[in-house]
Amino acid sequence: MSSDSTKQVLRKLEFPLCVKEALSRIEQLCVANIIQNVERIQTIKQTDLAMELITEFVFCEVDRRSMKKKKLNHIQEMQLLEVLSDYFAYNHNTTLGGDAARNTVFMSLFPHTYVERCQLLVKLVSIAVCTNNIPLLSATGVLMQQIGCTSKFSIELAKGLINDYFTLLPESSIKLHDLPSKAPLFTANFLTALAEIYFTAGTEDNPLIPSNSLLNIITEWVSENNSLCYAALTSNLLHSLPMGGIPMPAITPFVGLFKWCVLAPLYIDEDNVNYAKLHLSALESLLDSQIYCPSASQRNVVSAQQLTFLVTVCHEKIEKILKGVEIDVENLFPYVQLALERLAQFVQVALHTNSIYGSKQEFFNRLRNLPKIRLLRITMSRHKEII
């Protein structure tokens, strides 16, 4: 069927029936690109048609003359969310194109450059968590990894889910408990985005700090699922991407989580036992890196660049605390001592397991600037051959 005739058929349908039919046609175009040996020009035409169908008949952003339309009202938006949820839960093609077809449709629907669609995606993923829509969560995990878990897109998605499950309806956070076992890739990439937000955003003296309920969930995830932090590294996305897609490098949440544990004593007065528990659980998980990532190609566990940033932030905060204070390194403030011990333990385990990738020189240069507590001196002495 030609492009014009396809659109003529869809224009005869009322909303949201046009959405259902459009999704079916879009999937057919995506599957054709994946399983057929078509010429490049034909592939481009099919892709362009799929994008046109999405714009006019799924999100109703333009009319038949490509003129911008009014936004969907609240009822229409809920209808659209229901259709999309059902499509990814039940109607994705598992025999022709499989995960690649589903993810191609999903990425076509939600490119990171469409801000308004990203806002809709937050609601869609929130519903997926609530309804255990695993195919949709899996597609979201792939999308986050391809765009980047620490990108603005992924950060905004994570913030939206935090708002839904911990701010607006905190009692619904119970729905998040089983996410690691049901959708490990999504959970790991969501965790990486979450870890990026806290103790980084905000102001230098008043960074954003996770709520106790969020900290409880994260601590539970990591302590009960040792392999969770490696899910992005161990997931093979090669056959789950659109035709010609190249899997983007995975980012683990380790540095972000240790950032929480290291900086918490420097910013929080009260002792929260969950930071200690999270720190221990993350260390135990990192110690098992060679079990979960045995091959050399999977050893990109801890980025030297990210680690350098953590050491720099920690050093700057400690310098402010100790400014003008005459204090011996053996008699530091207890909370400064705790922060440095946690950082030293993280560095020690990361070096011991050969988990750090990238140039380490700048990292060690920054490490030398920290107060030399005993554990830090031992760690640096033991690994002086790579300094």
CA angle 155, 156, 160 (to 5 degrees): 120
Higher per-residue pLDDT: 42 or 305: 305
Give the pLDDT score at 46: 84
pLDDT tops 70 at residue 138: yes
Q: Regarding beta strands 302-303 and 356-357, do their DSSP bridges make them parallel or antiparallel, or are they unpaired?
A: parallel
Cα distance between residue 11 and residue 14, in whole Å: 8
36-42: long-range pairs with CB below 8 Å, 24+: none
The tokens describing 371, both together, are 């107060």
Give the pLDDT score at 94: 47
Q: What torsion do the CA atoms of 280, 281, 282, 284 make, to the nearest 10 degrees?
A: 90
pLDDT tops 90 at residue 348: yes
Higher per-residue pLDDT: 386 or 18: 18
pLDDT tops 90 at residue 128: yes
Binned at pLDDT 50, 70 and 90, residue 156 comes out as: very high
**Mean pLDDT over residues 177-193, rounded?**
96
Would you say the pTM of this structure is higher than 0.85? yes
Binned at pLDDT 50, 70 and 90, residue 381 comes out as: confident
> What residues does each domain of the chain span?
110-386
Cα distance between residue 103 and residue 154, in whole Å: 16
Candidates 257, 236, 248, 263; CA nearest to 349 is: 257
How many whole angstroms from its chain centre is CA 41?
34
pLDDT digits (tens, 9 = 90+) for 79-122: 999 999 999 998 654 455 688 889 999 999 999 888 889 889 99
The pair phi, psi for residue 18, each rounded to 5°, is -65, -30
DSSP classification of residue 371: -
Range picked from 169-183, 200-214, 281-295 for highest mean pLDDT: 281-295
DSSP helix/strand/coil, 202:
strand
Structural contact between residues 351 and 320, judged by C-beta atoms closer than 8 angstroms: no
Binned at pLDDT 50, 70 and 90, residue 208 comes out as: very high
Give the pLDDT score at 53: 95
Phi-psi region of 148 (alpha: psi -120 to 50; beta: other; left: phi over 0): left
CA angle 92, 63, 51 (to 5 degrees): 35
Higher per-residue pLDDT: 343 or 32: 343
Give the pLDDT score at 112: 86
**Mean pLDDT over residues 347-354, rounded?**
93
Identify the burial level of 127 via C-beta atoms within 10 angstroms of its C-beta, where 0-12 means exposed, 13-18 middle and 19 or more buried.
Answer: middle
**CA 289 to each of CA 146, 279, 296, 298: distance values in angstroms, whole numbers, following the listed order:** 23, 16, 11, 9
Binned at pLDDT 50, 70 and 90, residue 272 comes out as: confident
Return the CA Rg of the chain. Answer: 24
Structural contact between residues 31 and 101, judged by C-beta atoms closer than 8 angstroms: yes
Q: Which of 39-48, 88-97, 120-129, 247-256 shows the lowest per-residue confidence on average (mean pLDDT)?
A: 88-97
The pair phi, psi for residue 299, each rounded to 5°, is -85, 10
pLDDT tops 90 at residue 356: yes
Give the pLDDT score at 210: 94
Candidates 209, 308, 216; CA nearest to 264 is: 209
Cα distance between residue 140 and residue 113, in whole Å: 15
Identify the burial level of 168 via C-beta atoms within 10 angstroms of its C-beta, where 0-12 means exposed, 13-18 middle and 19 or more buried.
Answer: exposed
Cα distance between residue 306 and residue 165, in whole Å: 28
Give the pLDDT score at 70: 85
**Mean pLDDT over residues 119-135, rounded?**
95
Q: Greatest CA span in the chain, whole angstroms?
A: 81
Binned at pLDDT 50, 70 and 90, residue 23 comes out as: very high
How many residues are present in the chain?
Answer: 387
Binned at pLDDT 50, 70 and 90, residue 188 comes out as: very high
